[in-house]
Structure 1
Amino acid sequence: MNTAHLDALPAAGDVTHLTIEPNILYFGTPVVLLSTENGDGSFNLAPVSSAWALGQTVVLGLGRDGQTAHNLATRPDLVLNLPTADQWPAVERLAPLTGRDPVPAAKAEGCRFEPDKFGAAGLTGAPSHLVRPPRVAECPLQLEARAAQVRPDASGEFVIVEAAVRRVHADARMVVPGTDHVDPAAWTPLIYNFRHYFGLGPELGHSYRTRTPRAPAGPAA
C-alpha cells in the first residue's frame, strides 16, 4: 500500500479514529412529514428522516411495512411538509404512531395504531392545489409531489421513492422579496442527527452557485 500521500497531511494531533458498527446512519438529515392517501380516502401523516433532492425530484427512503409505502404503491400523490426546528415536539408525537392496523411486526416496540395522525400531532390539514393529500398548514415549506417510481432498496427492508415535485408553497416570510428564492437565513429546518433533533447553527459561508449571497456574520467585537 502506497502511503506517501498520507505524509503530506497535517498532523492529526490527539485525534483517534475507532472502527464502529452503528445500527443507524442518520448523520444529519432533514425531517419531512409525508401526507399520503389511505385506501378509504382518509389521509396518513408520517415523519421521514431519509430524504434528499436532485433538481425537482426528491428521493425518499421509507420503511417497507409502513402505511406510507403501502399508500404510495397504489396512490402516488403525496405532500412533503418540512417542519422548522422548533416543531420537533409535533414530529415526536407522530414518531410512535402508525396508520397500519394491525401494527406491523417490524415496527418498533411501543408503536401503536392511530387513524387521525394530524389530530394526534396537533397539526392542521390544508387543501393542496394539485394532489389529494393535504398540506400541513403549520409547516413553512410544503412540496406537492407525485411518486414517479416506488421500488425496494438493495436490502429489501426499505422502499425507495422518487417523487416529482409539482408545486412548492413557502411561507412569505422566508422568500426573498420579488424572487422565487428561499432565504436560507430565514429557513431553519429540523435536522435528525443519530435519532436526536437539531436545528442549524450560524451560517459559515455559501456555495459559489448560490443566488442569495450574503456575508456571514463575523465574531462579536
Structure 2
Amino acid sequence: MVHKTINPKILYYGNPVILLTTMNEDGSTNISPISSSWALDHFLVIGLGAEGKAYENLKQRGECVLNIPGPDLWERVESLAACTGKEMVPPGKAAYGCVYVKDKFQAAGLTGKKSSAVSADAIAECPIQIEGKVRHIREPDYMEGIAIAEVEAAAIHAQEDIIKEGHHIDPGKWSPLIYNFRHYFGLGKELGKTARA
C-alpha cells in the first residue's frame, strides 16, 4: 500500500452532522449545522465558528440541544449551510455567501419542539435530541475563529422506533447523517455534496 502526503483544504474525514439549537436573545431558537463533535459518557465536545450566532448564544445562555439528523434530512441540513442567525453578517460568513435568516425552522422546513431541560427548542424531525448545559467554552489561540464547547447532557430523547432494550439505540434501525470531506453520507451511500466552496 502506497501513501502520499496531501494537504486538503479542510479536514472533515467523516463526522456525524449535528443541528445545534440555541436560544436567541428574543426567545426564538437558532439552528446551526455543525460537523465537529464527539461524546464520552454524558459529556460532548463541539467545535463551531466563533463569529456565529450559536457561539454567541452558548456564551450568553450556556445551553443548547444537539439534534442528530438521519440521512433523510441531508437536503434540509444543506439548505441551512448559507444561513446565519446574525443580522450583521460577519465578514467571514459573508465571504462564503451567507445571508441572515431569522426563522431557520421555516427556511429548512423543520419543526420546533419544546425541550424538557433547556430553553432552546429541539428539532422534531431529528431521531435523537440531546439537551445540554455548557460546562466550559473557549477560543484556542492556535485556531483562529474556532471555539470549543464542552457540554453535559441534561436530557436525551430518541424516537421510539429506534430504541431497543429500553435505553439503547438500535444501530440496525438508524444511523446518523455523516459529513465526509464536504459530502453527505448515510446508510453506506453518498447522498449529495455541499454547494459551499
Same fold (TM over 0.5): yes
CA displacement at 1:172 relative to structure 2 = 0.5
Name the structure where strand makes up a greater proportion of residues.
2
Residue in 2 aligned with 1:76?
62
CA RMSD after TM alignment: 1.2
Which sections of structure 2, spanning at least 5 residues, go unmatched?
190-197
Aligned partner of residue 67 in structure 2, secondary structure: strand
After superposition, where does 1:37-52 map in structure 2 within 5 Å?
A: 37-52=23-38
Identical counterparts, % of pairs: 48
Q: Distance in 1 between matches of 2:21 and 2:183?
A: 22
Q: What's the offset of the Cα at 1:18? A: 1.8
Q: Could you tell me which runs of 5 or more consecutive residues in structure 1 were left unpaired when the two chains were aligned.
A: 1-11, 203-221
How far off is 1:21 after superposition? 1.1
Shift of 1:148: 0.8
Which 4+ residue blocks in structure 1 deviate beyond 3 angstroms? none
Q: Which amino acid aligns with 2:147?
A: V
Equivalent residue, structure 1, for 2:162: 174
Corresponding residue to 2:99 among 94, 107, 112: 112
Structure with higher RCO (Cα < 8 A, 6+ apart)? 2
2:172 match: secondary structure: helix
Q: Which residue of 2 aligns with 1:163?
A: 151
Secondary structure at the counterpart of residue 87 of structure 1: helix
Aligned ranges for residues 22-61 of structure 1 at < 5 Å? 22-61=8-47
Partner of 2:79: 93
Using the size of structure 2 for normalisation, the TM-score is: 0.92
Q: Return the index of the structure with the highest Cα Rg.
A: 1
Deviation string 1:30-88 (CA, Å, 9 cap, x unpaired) is 00001001112211011000011011011000001000001111111100000001110
User: 1:200 Cα deviation (Å)?
Assistant: 3.0
Give the deviation of 1:157 after TM superposition: 2.0
What CA distance in whole angstroms lies between the structure 2 residues aligned with 1:157 and 1:131?
27
C-alpha distance in 1, partners of 2:88/2:149? 24
C-alpha separation in 2, matches of 1:41 and 1:156 = 30
